[in-house]
Structure 1
Amino acid sequence: MLPGFWARRLVVLVLGTATLGFLAAPPPPAQAAPAEAATTSTSSSTSSTSSTKTASTTSSGTADRLRQLADHLRDAGVPGVVVARRDGDRLTRVARGVANLRTGRAARPDDRYRIGSNTKTMTSVVVLQLVAEGRLSLDDKVVRHLPGLGLDPRMTVRHVLQQTSGLHTDTMVFTPPRTVESVRFEYFTPRELVRLALTNPEPRQAPGTHWEYSNTNYVIAGMLIEAVTHHPAQVELARRIFRPLGLHDTYFPVASPFVRGRHLNGYLPAGEGEPPVDLTVYGMSWVRTAGAVVSTTRDETTFLHALFTGRLLPRAQLAQMTDTGEFGYGLGFPVRVPCVPGGVAWGHDGAVFGYSSGVFSTPDGSRQAAVGANTWLLTDAGELNPLPAQAAAAALCDGSPSPAEVAPPWRATPVAAAAAPVR
C-alpha cells in the first residue's frame, strides 16, 4: 500500500520537461541511507563496445566534476545517482549512493534506470526517419493514418511532435477510481490511452495555436510508427536505434513491470517520518512511447552523440527537430549552458514514478552528459524539482556552473496538490 502521504494527495503526472519548474526553493533534506559507495569508470568507446582505461589527467578532472554534481544530488535527498559525460570517444561515469535501500547495494556507473520522457526524443527520431524515407510527412493529417479515434481532423504529425495538438497534460489515466497503486499492473493499449485522454472535459485549443505538454502526443507518435511500418513501435526503436548504436542496456518494456538486469531501484518520496515507497516494479503501458524506455548513462549519451553527429537523421530532419518555432519546443528544450559554443545545449529530461533523469548534448555532438537518479525531488510548491536535469546540463561544463545556475525555459507544472485520492 502507498503511505498516507500519497493517499491524501492528487498526483498529476507529466513525464519529463513539462513537469519541471525553476529551482525556486531549497532542496528537501536528505533522507537517511546506507553507507555511500562511489565508483568511477572511464572508457573509450569508438564502436558498440567499451573498454575500461586508466583515466588521464583530463578525465580525472572530469570525474571529480561528476562526483561533485552527484554529491550535490545526494545532499538534496537522492538515494542513488549515476552521472556521465562523453567527450568524443571518451566516456567518464561515476555513481554515488545506493541502488537498493533494502539491501544497501551501492549504485554502479552501469546501472539501468527508467529514462521517462527522454524516450520522446527516440520516438521523434524514428518518426523523422520515416519522414526522410518519404513514408510520412510532418504535414500529414494524423487521421489519415489513424482513423476512428475521434482526433481533431486538423491535427498534423508536426503538431503531435511539437506538443501543439490541443491535447491536454492530464491524460486521465489516473482519474478515480484508478490510483497510482491500481494502475501499477494494469495493461493499456495505445488506443485505450488515446480514448482515455479524449475524455478530459477541459476545452481543447485548435491544433497549432497553443502549446501544452502531453504524453498522449507521443503515444500517438508511436501509433503513427506502427501504422506506417506495420511493426510494433518497440521493434522499430530496436531496429533503427538500439541495435545499430550498440545500446545493449536499452530496451522498451512492453508488458513486464520489471526492470531487467542490474538497475537502480526507484523510490517515491513519502511523508515526514515515512520510508520511501519502492515503485521499481511498475508496468509502463500507461505511457508507452512517451516514456517507457529503460537505459543507462552510457547508452543515453551514445544516442545523443550519434544523433548530433549525423548517424541517425539527415541534416534536414535534424534541423526540423531543433526548430523550436514560436512555442520553444523541438527536440526537447534548448538549455542555456555558458560553456557550450553559442551558449545552448540540446536534450530532454525525464520523470516517472521513482526516477528522474536528464541528457544533453552540444549542438556539434562533441560532448554529452547524462544523469539518472532513483527518486523524485519535490519543491516546496509541490512541483518536481529540476535539479537532476540541471545537473546533467551542468555536467557539460568543467568547474561551473552549479546545477542551480542552469536555467532552461522549463514550464512549471504542479505535480502534487492537497486533495483526495491518488490518481
Structure 2
Amino acid sequence: MRDPLNAAELRAALRNVQRAGVPGLFAEVRDGGQVWRGAAGVADVTTGRPVTADMRHRVGSITKPFTAAAVLQQVECGRIGLDVPIGRYLPELVPKDRGEAITVRMLLNHTSGLAEYLPYAYPSLKAPPALADTDPRSLDDNRFTRFHPTELIGMGVSAPAVGAPGGTPGLYSNTNYLLLGELLARVTGEPAERHITRSVIEPAGLRDTELPSDPHVHGPHSQIYEAWFGMIDPPRDYSVYDMSWVGVAGSLVSTVADLNRFLRKLLAGEIVRPSSLEQMQRTVPVVSQEGRTIDYGLGLHPMELPGQETFWGHGGTVWGAGALAMARADGRRQMAVAVNLQRWNGLGPSGEPLPHPIDDALGAFHRVAMYG
C-alpha cells in the first residue's frame, strides 16, 4: 500500500536531528487524512524523560500568523484599514509624521522601518560589530521581568529608524507586532491576548494553544535549552520564563497538532476570508533576524524547493525553544516540528555563526516532511 507520508524516512530523519545534537524534538506530518507523529530524544537532560509528540511547546514567532489573522478579521468588519496610518489609531505610540507614514500593512509585513526593541530590552545581546561581542547575562536578568508592551514599543520607536516606511527590503522587527497587539486592544476594547484567543484560537478548535499569562508552560512539555552560540555551556533550561518580552509577537504555547490544524483552517479560508488570505500571501522582500532576505506577506512567508510546490507558514524561536509549521498552498500536506535547543552554532573568527550538523539534519527533515 502506498505510504505518502514516507514514515520510515520521517523516523530516520527525526532521529538524525537528535543524533546531530538536539536533546529532543517532535513533529506531526499530515497528507490528506493520513497523519504521522514522531518524537526523538529527551525532554529533560537530567532525568532522561523522553519527549512525546503531544507536548506543549513555546513556538515563538509562529504567534505572528495568529495576530495577523485577528487583525485581518477586524479589517473585514471595517474597524481597521490595511492602508490607514497607524498614527490615526495610536497617535500616542507612533506620533506625528512617522505615525502618518506607517500603515497597518507595513506593520504586518515588516516594512515600517521601525527598529527591533530587543537589543534595548536585553542590552547584553547588542551585537556591534559581531555576535562574539554579546553575552547572555540579560537572559537571566530578565527571566521574571514583566514588561508592558508599550514600554517595548517605545524602545523600538525611539531607536534610529532602520528604513523608510514602505521601503524594501523591510527589516523583521517584533516592534511591529506589539503595535498590532495594541491596535487590536484599541479597536476591540479587550486585551489583545484575550481577543486573539476568542477570535482565532477557540474558533479553530485549538485546545492546547494559549497565550500565557504566567512564566510556566502548563501541561506536558519539554524543558528548553539555550546555548547562545556556545557561550552557555552546557545549555541552560529556560522553560520557566516571563514571556511578556515578546507578547503577541512570539509568546504562543501550542502543540504540533494544533499548529497544523491552524494552518489547515487558515489556508482553507475558515479563519479569515479568501480575500484576506490573498492579502496575507502578497509578499515583499524582508531581511530576517538571521540576516537572510526572505519573501514575507502579512504574517506568513513561503518556502519552496526549486521545481516543487509552495508551502506557507512561519518559524519561531524563543530562549531555548524553536518550531516551524508549514502547509502546502492547497492545505493537504502539512508539517510542524518543535526542537528544545536553540542557537547551537559556535562562532567563527569574525563572529559569524558556524555551520553545525544540526542545521543540515533539520533541513533534511524539513525536505522529507514537506516533499517526501
| Unaligned residue ranges in structure 2 (runs of 5+) | 126-136, 287-294
2:370 counterpart residue number: 396
Quote the Cα distance in structure 1 between the aligned partners of 2:366 and 2:84.
35
Quote the Cα distance in structure 2 between the aligned partners of 1:67 and 1:339.
25
Quote the Cα distance in structure 1 between the aligned partners of 2:355 and 2:206.
29
1:306 and 2:250 correspond: no
1:173 and 2:121 correspond: yes
The root-mean-square deviation of aligned C-alpha atoms, in Å, is 2.3
Quote the Cα distance in structure 2 between the aligned partners of 1:137 and 1:384.
43
Question: For 1:284-363, what aligned pairs fall within 5 Å after superposition?
Answer: 284-325=243-284, 327=286, 328-330=295-297, 331-337=299-305, 340=308, 343-363=309-329
| Unaligned residue ranges in structure 1 (runs of 5+) | 1-55, 399-423
Kindly tell me: are residues 82 and 231 of structure 1, through their superposed partners in 2, closer, same or farther at Cα, counting changes over 3 Å?
Answer: same
What do the CA deviations read for 1:15-72 (whole angstroms, capped 9, x no partner)? xxxxxxxxxxxxxxxxxxxxxxxxxxxxxxxxxxxxxxxxx8627x533232122122
Quote the Cα distance in structure 1 between the aligned partners of 2:190 and 2:266.
23
Paired residue type of 2:261:
T
Answer whether contact 2:9 2:368 (CA < 8 A) is retained.
Answer: no
Q: TM-score, normalised by structure 2?
A: 0.85
1:156 counterpart residue number: 103
Question: For 1:400-419, what aligned pairs fall within 5 Å after superposition?
Answer: none
Question: For 1:18-417, what aligned pairs fall within 5 Å after superposition?
Answer: 58=3, 62-151=6-95, 152-153=98-99, 154-171=101-118, 172-175=120-123, 179-200=138-159, 202-210=160-168, 211-254=170-213, 256-269=214-227, 271=230, 274-325=233-284, 327=286, 328-330=295-297, 331-337=299-305, 340=308, 343-376=309-342, 377-378=344-345, 380=347, 381-382=352-353, 388=362, 391-392=365-366, 394-398=368-372
Q: TM-score, normalised by structure 1?
A: 0.75
Please give the secondary structure, in 2, of the residue aligned with 1:163. Answer: coil
Quote the Cα distance in structure 1 between the aligned partners of 2:367 and 2:198.
29
Quote the Cα distance in structure 2 between the aligned partners of 1:101 and 1:57.
38
Kindly tell me: are residues 125 and 372 of structure 1, through their superposed partners in 2, closer, same or farther at Cα, counting changes over 3 Å?
Answer: same
What do the CA deviations read for 1:187-206 (whole angstroms, capped 9, x no partner)? 11111111122342x34422
- Shift of residue 253, structure 1, vs aligned partner: 0.7
Paired residue type of 1:196:
M
Kindly tell me: are residues 318 and 167 of structure 1, through their superposed partners in 2, closer, same or farther at Cα, counting changes over 3 Å?
Answer: same
Paired residue type of 1:157:
V
Answer whether contact 1:360 1:392 (CA < 8 A) is retained.
Answer: no
- Shift of residue 223, structure 1, vs aligned partner: 1.0
- Shift of residue 176, structure 1, vs aligned partner: 5.3
Kindly tell me: are residues 355 and 397 of structure 1, through their superposed partners in 2, closer, same or farther at Cα, counting changes over 3 Å?
Answer: same
Kindly tell me: are residues 199 and 391 of structure 1, through their superposed partners in 2, closer, same or farther at Cα, counting changes over 3 Å?
Answer: farther
Which has the larger share of helix? 2
Aligned residues: 338
Please give the secondary structure, in 2, of the residue aligned with 1:358. Answer: strand
1:25 counterpart residue number: none
Q: Sequence identity of aligned pairs in percent?
A: 36
Answer whether contact 1:371 1:391 (CA < 8 A) is retained.
Answer: no
- Shift of residue 235, structure 1, vs aligned partner: 1.3
Kindly tell me: are residues 147 and 199 of structure 1, through their superposed partners in 2, closer, same or farther at Cα, counting changes over 3 Å?
Answer: closer
Answer whether contact 1:78 1:373 (CA < 8 A) is retained.
Answer: yes
Answer whether contact 1:123 1:222 (CA < 8 A) is retained.
Answer: yes
Answer whether contact 2:10 2:365 (CA < 8 A) is retained.
Answer: no
Kindly tell me: are residues 275 and 325 of structure 1, through their superposed partners in 2, closer, same or farther at Cα, counting changes over 3 Å?
Answer: closer
Answer whether contact 2:201 2:209 (CA < 8 A) is retained.
Answer: yes
Quote the Cα distance in structure 2 between the aligned partners of 1:114 and 1:259.
8
